[in-house]
Structures are given as structure tokens and as C-alpha cells.
Structure 1
Amino acid sequence: MAASDVLTRTQIDTALAALPDWTWGLGALRTSLKCPTAAAALELFAAIGELAQGANHHPDVDWRYETLFVTLTSHDAGSVVTARDTALATTISAAAHAVDALARPELLRTLEIAIDTDDIDAISATWRTALGYKRQEDGSLADPMGRGPSLWFQKTDTPKANRFHVDVTVPFSESGPVLDALAATGAALDHEQSPMWVVATDAQGNRLCICTEEGRS
């Protein structure tokens, strides 16, 4: 398999069986690595930088005190997972273990904002201009620097009164406790599309979705 080969979902799942620190979601491999100290996190950050330079393949790394959030995807292949990503994930995990970092999948939550609309073209440019985002092939808007949440438009002939909702993507392995905690707050849960997503509605009618990688290609 060439390093640039795009992996199928089956191939990604096979690779993840040997990469317990990582999960797949929204077209990328993701991990959260908690280090013993902030200094160890910086050491790991530097090691990841060296590995990325050596591989000529650069992940997104977010340093938060003693924790690093790492996202791997091949932008030149259409922001999907390739063999380059699984190879770099393997070496990053080895570097993480060298500084006694632990994977914390429960910390992985990826935020997207959705807007109900019956005319995407009428509003897309306004949001793209205000946010400084770029339009993706699927019509969604994304921060070119990867800092802010992406925004997508849910096409519907009957937009809800509250047109906005938030999608929170979590690893399927961590979704049960999240949904249980939401139910404990009094949120109403609609499991019709589970496990791909569960719609949660708060006491005032505001919606959010807890999304997972299960059931997606």
C-alpha cells in the first residue's frame, strides 16, 4: 500500500485495532494524550514536531497544559485518512509512551454548528465572510487554521423555529456515559438515528446532537 493511499473504513478499523490510543471521526484520526507534567507535554510536542518533519506530514496539535490533542488527516487527499496518517500515529504513540503519556479518549469532543435552512446559497456567503472560513466540497464552512468549529447547513423545507443546533462528536466508546449524563440533566433524548447520532433537547427546546463514528463510512 502506498503512503498516499486513501483508507477505507474497514482498513481504518483494522489499523485502529493496533492503535489503541487513537479513534476515527470526521475524516481524521484523533487522540488526547495526557502527560505527567506540562514539561513532559512540551517534550512530547517537540518529539511530534520532529516526527512530522521527518515524515513530511504534519498533524494539528493543540497543547493544553499537560494534555495534547492531536488530529491526523491528509488534506491533500481531500481531508481523509491515508496510510501516512496511520504510520505517523504509530510513531506518535511510541513517543507518547516514552514520556508516560496516557490516552484520554473521554476528552475528545469535536464541535460543529449546524443551521437549518431552505436556501443554503442565500446565507452561506454571509457566514463565510464573517467567520473568515473556507467553503468545503460538501458545502460546509471550515476555519482554514483549524481553530474554530466548522459550520454546516442542514437543508430542509421546514426549518425549525430555532434554526441553530450544535453537533458534538465523541468516540463511540465514550458516548454511553455522555448520554447518561445528559439524561440526568433532564434532556430529552431521541435515539432514532443511534449510534450515528442522538438528538438531545434541553428544557427550553434547544437541540444538540451527540455524534459518533459508528454507522458512518
Structure 2
Amino acid sequence: MSSRARLSEDEITAALAGLPRWTREGDSIVRSAVAPDFPAAIRAVVAVAEQAEALDHHPDIDIRWRSLRFVLSTHSAGGLTGLDLTLAARIDEALRAESADA
């Protein structure tokens, strides 16, 4: 299966079981986190930006002081794809590296 192919509902449900901090909102998955301070939040966003560039798949990111919100969806596929799940896992890693948690 292509990483850009739209996932079935069963595939999304199974994948989210392995990404417990992510929730479904329509055709997107969403995660919020709070970093220890503003510089840590920015470092996390920079790490996510590097991963997004490597995958050529970019999240919507909202930064409010130490609070971060990430939204993932593959607009060209009209929903969620393997790229969203891969990037979600990489976002989790970047947040852990900066001690950011929900």
C-alpha cells in the first residue's frame, strides 16, 4: 500500500491504538502537548519541521507560548494516510526529546 493512499476506518482505528496521545477529528488526527518552556516548544517544532521536510508531508502547527497543537491529514487523499501516522510517531519522538507532554 502506498504511504499516500487513504486508509480505511479499520486501519485508522488500529493505528491510533499505537498512538495513544492522538485523537481523531474528522479526516484529521490531532495531538496537543505542553513543553517545559517556550524555547523547548520551539525546539520541538524545529525537530518536527525537519521530519516533515524529510517526509515531504507537513502538519498544521499552533504554538501558544508552551502549548503546541498538531493536526495531520493528507489533503490530496481526502483523509488520513500512512504518512500521517508516520509523522505522528515522529512528532511524539520530538516531543519526548523536549520533555513535552499532553
- Given the two structures, how large is their TM-score scaled by the length of structure 1? 0.46
Post-superposition Cα deviations, 1:84-110, rounded to whole Å, max 9, x if no partner, equal 10011011101111111112xxxxxxx
Pair 1:87 & 2:86 matched: yes
- Unaligned regions of 5+ residues in structure 2, if any? none
Q: Which amino acid aligns with 1:4?
A: R
> After superposition, where does 1:28-43 map in structure 2 within 5 Å?
28-43=28-43
Partner of 2:24 in structure 1? Answer: 24
Q: Higher helix proportion, which one?
A: 2
* 3-state SS in 1 of match to 2:62: strand
SS at match of 1:81: coil
Give, in whole Å, the separation in 2 of the partners of 1:95 and 1:20.
16
For the residue of structure 1 that corresponds to 2:5, the secondary structure is: coil
User: Corresponding residue for 1:176?
Assistant: none
The Cα offsets for residues 105-138 of structure 1, whole Å up to 9 and x where unpaired, read as xxxxxxxxxxxxxxxxxxxxxxxxxxxxxxxxxx
1:1-217 → structure 2 map (5 Å cutoff): 1-78=1-78, 80-103=79-102
Please give the root-mean-square deviation of Cα atoms over the aligned residues, in Å: 0.8
The percentage of aligned residue pairs carrying the same residue is 36
Deviation at 1:62, TM superposition (A): 0.6
Q: Between Structure 1 and Structure 2, which shows a larger proportion of strand residues?
A: 1
Higher relative contact order (CA 8 A, sep 6+): 2
Work out the CA distance in 2 between the residues paired with 1:30 and 1:9. 16
Unaligned runs of 5+ residues in structure 1 are: 104-217
- Describe the SS at the equivalent of 2:52: helix
Runs of 4+ in structure 1 deviating by more than 3 angstroms, as ranges, are none
| 1:32-68 CA-partner distances (Å, limit 9, x unpaired) | 0111111100000111111100100000001010011
The offset of 1:26, in angstroms, is 1.6
* Bigger radius of gyration among the two: 1
Query: How many aligned positions are there?
Result: 102
